[in-house]
Amino acid sequence: MMPPLVMGEEGTAEVQRNIAKAQELKVEGNEHFKAGDYQLAMRAYHQVCRPPPTARTHYAPAITPARARAQIYMYVHGYALNDSSLGGFPGQTTTPVSKSEMVTIRELKINHFCNLAMCHLKLGNLPKARLNCTKALAIDEKNVKALFRRGRCNAQLGALDEAKEDFEGVLRLDGSNKEAARELRALKAAFADHKRREAKKFAGMFEKLGWSNALIVAGKEVDVNFERAARNIPNIDVLPSAGANVYDILRRDVLVLTTEAVEALEARLK
């Protein structure tokens, strides 16, 4: 059994240097952001460093230039909380650090992703902004800043249900958050507009098919968006296969069954 992996003075100094450099880059990025230079801000936030020598030399292969460009943890990549009770183990790819150092590293990673997300938002790169918010939330699922920014991304990308969930999550964590409450109010109007457009689209399609008075029976579950749109179309009903009944069938002129609905009804009649 290998002896416990303990950080020496040289390793501790290397960790502190990397943390200090990451904090320096964070400040530099913030200054560029305040000046409105989001590209330079991203360059600072996205600054790359090879893993610390202990991790690179003893545990992990050297980072090639191509792989280095793919790293996004700046100067805080490749560290894990030191737990001497577990001891070292062959092939370990992380460098152990103290609890206080790990707290700082964790916060730097969260700030890194949140700040990158804000830069992408400013530049209109919504998918990348949303991705960075999700990465921040993978580290801290209760991070209000990341949750709010992802909500804004989802809202602008048309993912209204996901946006609503994010903003409601913000309010659960911070009930006094006025921005999240304002975004939720705006979402109500967006939902209403979306329903109108969907209803108009399906109404036109049903008219072409001659379904002016119809019952549509779906499978086990009804598509949420389709059901919402159908609610706003007069004389159109949508039901899951389990909800199909004689009364609803007889009150409409046309009965439409999906393939899944036919299979489900056949199984019920056997």
Break the chain into its structural domains and give their ranges.
1-123, 137-201, 210-269
- 3: pLDDT confidence band, cut at 50, 70 and 90? very low
* pTM summary value: 0.60
pLDDT score recorded for residue 82: 62
Question: 176-231, pLDDT tens digit by residue?
Answer: 999 999 999 989 887 777 677 776 777 777 777 788 888 888 878 887 777 777 77
Collect contacts of 5-13 with beta carbons under 8 A, ≥24 apart.
Answer: 5/82, 5/84, 5/87, 5/88, 5/92, 5/96, 6/82, 6/84, 6/96, 7/82, 7/95, 7/96, 7/97, 7/98, 11/52, 11/54, 11/95, 12/98
C-alpha to C-alpha distance for 145 and 211, rounded to whole angstroms: 47
CATH code for residues 137-201: 1.25.40.10
Q: Is the pLDDT assigned to residue 162 strictly greater than 90?
A: yes
Give yes or no for residue 103 having a pLDDT over 50.
Answer: yes
Output the pLDDT for position 257: 87
205/185 Cα distance (integer angstroms)? 31
- Each residue of 151-180: b (16+ CB within 10 Å) or e? bbbbbeeebbebbbebbebbbeeeeebeeb
